[in-house]
Amino acid sequence: MLYETGNPDKDYLFTKNPKDKFYQNSEELDILENFRLNSCNFMAYLFMVQDYTNYNFSASEICYLAGFAQKEVNPANKNEKCLTDEFNVRNPDIIMNKAFELAGHKELYATVNWGAEDGQEPDYTNILCKTDLGNLHHVSGDGKQNIIYNPWKNGIISEIYPNDTKKIYIHRKK
């Protein structure tokens, strides 16, 4: 549940649809253990929902989505959760679809690397990269693998691994 603090200096954490997006290295999200270090993949998928719906998640909503995914059993492997405590994404479809719901768009759903309709090009891509520090990192790309969001604000990408790109398809429920 989302609560306002009553403190104008902190209420922006709970503001629905804030003006700016949060990043993996946003101080407001340091409350989540392992977030700053490992959440690039999680944030890349959340960005796609935000971009598609034109709705930015508050820090509180991002915390809620992380908590949900870390408790939700992965239907593809009942022995794991959709998001590990270390922020490794195990089922991006579940995470994105819960994010669509939270953004007020229950009529939308995503499929990752499957579910393309006849002739459908990907709406987004999740691109595996290497940073200038040599770390593996995920970013959001458009359907043609052009980077449109780097979860690490002001991060530098030194190499892209196009063969490790995941294709994301957005659908409308019928």
pLDDT tens digits, 128-169: 999 999 999 999 999 999 999 999 988 899 999 989 999 999
- Report residues of the chain scoring pLDDT below 50: 1-12
In this structure, is residue 57 part of a structural domain?
Answer: yes
In this structure, is residue 6 part of a structural domain?
Answer: no
What values do phi and psi take at 37, rounded to 5?
A: -75, -40
In this structure, is residue 2 part of a structural domain?
Answer: no
Q: What is residue 124's predicted lDDT score, i.e. its pLDDT?
A: 98
Give the separation between CA 154 and CA 161, rounded to whole angstroms: 20
**Extended strands (E) in the chain:** 73-74, 77-81, 108-112, 124-131, 136-142, 147-149, 157-172
Q: What is residue 34's predicted lDDT score, i.e. its pLDDT?
A: 87
Q: What is residue 9's predicted lDDT score, i.e. its pLDDT?
A: 46
Q: Number of folded domains in the chain?
A: 1
In this structure, is residue 5 part of a structural domain?
Answer: no
Q: What is residue 59's predicted lDDT score, i.e. its pLDDT?
A: 87
In this structure, is residue 7 part of a structural domain?
Answer: no
Domain hosting 91: range is 12-169
In this structure, is residue 1 part of a structural domain?
Answer: no
Quote the tokens at residue 69.
Answer: 């995914």
Give the separation between CA 156 and CA 152, rounded to whole angstroms: 9
